[in-house]
Chains A and B, each alone.
Chain A
């Protein structure tokens, strides 16, 4: 049909279309990547380089997604212009430092460089969380508790990634009970999710989308993954324990990714339009408030 279709009747909130899977890719790449860089610092005693490279690679993939999404690619450097207020600028400023220090850390594999990288990664992850929160037009993003949630899922994804990769690379981790660490982070994530969801005020369909995604993100990603991790931690070290831990790690990562995709796409309903009062039309009282879609 014609142009009448997309806009007709759009007073109730609708899913924003400015940021698509590519934006979700940025939060996935950036979140998992930085989380992995942070978790990898704990492994710097033994194997660090592969984790660091994968971590940086994910961050880079995320930034590539963003680059593909913007309208004027050649103007990309202009993104650095608004450090005073814009978290996107701040993320972009941290990025070269993160890569510089991170590559050095991957090469030299010293604890100092690894922990510096982890610090920069944490800063980057924090910027990502703040980017979402500052998007005032999307109720599911602007809820302040999205910040600890994004940070928590980044950390959990990082830990899960580390454990899964260590199984894949066949690299044992020098940290004691990394699975327990993962389990703790998953508990933190589920707590952050609950607190976020409890206070969240968003259009009915956004809430429905989040609640529908809860199975994958929370029930499986946290409530199945955490016990798996705990079990793995108490089992005798061996293939079973390793792959159980890896499974927990994968569930933690995929759960986090699922959440971010849901958050950035299916739950990304905008504010819509609302009237706290309806006009008098000649005579009669002002009408009651109308807030379609909420």
Chain B
């Protein structure tokens, strides 16, 4: 090798735990290695490091299996068994093909006869593709109505219930502990060491050494469990019982003053009085919810100054109650209790002894854990953060996937949030924190998204359920605004709706429901629903029905196998984009700075791959949308608005700008934003420095100060609003004859109850055979090496992942295996009533005897390299089913299975 090596700064946002910063070394035009951006250690809360996947970026670039030329399908038939007959075409022909289709659609009108957008688009991974698709969002914005409903797992396999309820209760799209300050963390299956990325791993390692005790409660000993002080092997889907058992201990086995009574009285809805119909009792004049003031010995509106509210007790008064659809009751001389008193009564049945049987864990565990939680809570302690005195509560509870989605997700998230409130540890130092918002606006500031609602809780952009306001006719195919009020109406809302319904209803629409038409054009980018969703065989069939699919392709995969056009994107280090960094964000990315970072071409794009920004500009020009497209960029579709107070770097709307020009303008705007207009450096500056940040207050980590400032209470424990919404939604659905969402409506409880959640999956399996045919729980787990970013096809990732036991096979308990005559390495088949998968048995002690585990998402049949791994995956085995769908529209990566030996290990 000759010539000096250059180190080119980049960001990595292959997964949602980032972005992280790195450099790529280039020698004579060839990328050779990745290193952390050491200079960033000053501002990056993970020492400026990047994780294992980032080190695969070089091989990702030079993957010989990449699509490097635009391709057109020649076989009109689509399906898994139909070779697409892709032939290379020129970019001109490819863009004309796509633009031609788009113009055809535009001429007909953006929505079809049902009212759905004719153009659909699917992107993967929690918003990560957005930061590799250049200005493509601007093109979609310019286009108009686009249906994002056809998901690849988002909205259902993610932390779904936590997203929705979390944002409602404490602006928490996701939740994480205040790890640097916490002393005790209960983690119900949150796999931070696999999914928390650099910052999550960095923080927790430091916390462990400092003495933070984390208890991992999950059916198998995950990476996170391994790095925890204790592992409790809980039965799948019984976490709500565990949490409710803990609540019972705190409420019924400890003195009241062991809890943070002040917090409950003044910062939650605990003192609100509850009427006989299950709604708040309200002041007749102001309609405000009432509490009982022990000072005045009377019921007063909740925000009356100088009250000493009663936390519990029985009180007699006259009041109003407002139910669903404005129905009012006027009460005189009724005896009522507080929300908190009702909570205490409600929790009496959930004893720890009952819970331990449900969870199948050792007796005494829950009492002990609840005791440890309480002992570490330090109720009454305070800390000074930047001049503000805040409660210090160094305990927190984290929940993971399959706990935070599907049936039981509501109950688990509720219980966790309530447990935080009981000790005053919600949104305070050391405690349980939200990370960011994606449903509330603005996405850049949780605090700015807070405003006070009429009942003293935070406002929330619920999709309306009123007689005249409910969205009777869904505007997108997953009908999120119609079925899920909590899914709000932000740019992310569609992806947070029940995205499996779009696929399911394509096959068979339910009663009194419009036909779910196929989109006339479907864009697919960095996503592979035919592998990553459920009932994947059927997904492939549905994809094959779409008439025109445009796939931005990295390699051939199981979804773009059904495409009509493949457009090769210039991948991570071959193209240009700017991303916001810092602030507070999932998964545990809590920074003391925020700003922007650049990724840039370290090497020339291979073959005929093109920067997505170029592709977007071309499409905009060819569809007559150039002005709107540039307008969208000017307004901020590329990550930062191009004009601010005192600066304007707007693009000339009429001109087709090149990649460098566009991003130079965005960089200037970003510089201005970060420096309050003092600096306006453009692309060249970012190319050299890689990133630009400014400090942010530590207080921005906590939401409690904002609520306290605005006089807002946390909407706990009584979910009166959800109760009302559920009734209204139910009425709206029944009015049009829909009863197939009735079970989902049962989730809208003011005080959630623990149901037999495992039983839901058992009954579902039993409907298709007998439960004895499916004696095992099948679960899945994340792996840092493979997750996101098409890393299943990267040899380096595969090689290093091989050092961890569990990849590529079926993990089962050693004792169980021996009973079944299964030895390490034997080929086994795992089947559900939907489908089956095969892989070598991997025997471990660290998994429940009744549980099997498959890590990651595999079973590829088209993607080069990955298809030769023959690694099993649960995705084809999991049904898409309304029975398994909860009120928020999610289900879980969980299914009952049987296992048998196919043949002995070679």
Chain B residues with CB below 8 A from A9, complex form: 805, 842
B213: Cβ under 8 A from any A Cβ: yes
Q: Sorted from nearest, which 3 A-B pairs have the closest CB atoms?
A: A4-B802, A283-B213, A3-B799
Interface residues in B, total, Cβ within 8 A: 26
- Per-residue 0/1 for A1-32: is the Cβ within 8 Å of any B Cβ (1 yes, 0 no)? 11111111100000000000000000000000
A8 to B842, CA, bound (A): 10
Chain A residues with CB below 8 A from B226, complex form: 281
A1 to B839, CA, bound (A): 11
- Per-residue 0/1 for B190-232: is the Cβ within 8 Å of any A Cβ (1 yes, 0 no)? 0000000000000000011001111000000000001111100
A4 to B207, CA, bound (A): 32
Seen from chain A, the residues whose Cβ lies within 8 Å of a Cβ on chain B are 1-9, 280-284
B801: Cβ under 8 A from any A Cβ: yes
| Residue of A with least CB distance to B798 | A2
A4 to B803, CA, bound (A): 7
B869: Cβ under 8 A from any A Cβ: yes
Cross-interface CB contact of A1 among B211, B227, B870, cutoff 8 Å: B870
Min CB gap A13→B, angstroms: 15
A3 to B207, CA, bound (A): 34
Are A8 and B214 touching (Cβ within 8 A)? no
Min CB gap B365→A, angstroms: 15
With contacts A1-B870, A3-B802, A4-B802 taken as known, whether A283 is within 8 angstroms of B211 at the C-beta atoms is yes
Chain B residues with CB below 8 A from A1, complex form: 808, 868-870
B171: Cβ under 8 A from any A Cβ: no
Chain A residues with CB below 8 A from B870, complex form: 1
Are A4 and B801 touching (Cβ within 8 A)? yes
Are B869 and A282 touching (Cβ within 8 A)? no
Are B798 and A4 touching (Cβ within 8 A)? yes
With contacts A7-B803, A282-B212, A283-B213 taken as known, whether A2 is within 8 angstroms of B865 at the C-beta atoms is yes
With contacts A2-B869, A8-B808 taken as known, whether A282 is within 8 angstroms of B802 at the C-beta atoms is no
A7 to B795, CA, bound (A): 14
Are A284 and B229 touching (Cβ within 8 A)? yes
Are B229 and A5 touching (Cβ within 8 A)? no
| Residue of A with least CB distance to B805 | A9
Are A282 and B808 touching (Cβ within 8 A)? no
Given A4-B802, A4-B869, A8-B807, 19 more A-B residue pairs with CB atoms under 8 Å apart are A1-B869, A2-B795, A2-B808, A2-B865, A3-B798, A4-B799, A7-B802, A9-B805, A280-B229, A281-B214, A281-B227, A281-B228, A282-B207, A282-B212, A282-B213, A282-B229, A283-B211, A283-B213, A284-B213
Chain B residues with CB below 8 A from A4, complex form: 798-799, 801-802, 807-808, 869
Are A8 and B230 touching (Cβ within 8 A)? no
Min CB gap B177→A, angstroms: 12
Q: List 17 A-B contacts (CB under 8 A).
A: A1-B870, A2-B802, A2-B808, A2-B869, A3-B795, A3-B798, A3-B799, A4-B802, A5-B802, A6-B802, A8-B808, A281-B214, A282-B213, A282-B229, A283-B211, A283-B229, A284-B230
| Residue of A with least CB distance to B802 | A4
A4 to B794, CA, bound (A): 12
Min CB gap B68→A, angstroms: 23
Cross-interface CB contact of B208 among A7, A8, A282, cutoff 8 Å: A282
Chain B residues with CB below 8 A from A283, complex form: 211-213, 229
Chain B residues with CB below 8 A from A5, complex form: 802, 808
Min CB gap A10→B, angstroms: 8
A281 to B865, CA, bound (A): 37
Chain B residues with CB below 8 A from A7, complex form: 799, 802-803
Are A8 and B865 touching (Cβ within 8 A)? no
| Residue of B with least CB distance to A284 | B229
| Residue of A with least CB distance to B799 | A3
- Most A CB contacts (10 A, CB to CB) among B226, B842, B869 go to B869
Are A282 and B798 touching (Cβ within 8 A)? no
Chain B residues with CB below 8 A from A284, complex form: 213, 229-230
Chain A residues with CB below 8 A from B802, complex form: 2-8
A5 to B230, CA, bound (A): 30
With contacts A1-B869, A281-B228, A283-B213 taken as known, whether A8 is within 8 angstroms of B805 at the C-beta atoms is yes
Chain B residues with CB below 8 A from A8, complex form: 802-805, 807-808
A9 to B208, CA, bound (A): 25
| Residue of B with least CB distance to A8 | B802
A5 to B212, CA, bound (A): 36
| Residue of B with least CB distance to A9 | B805
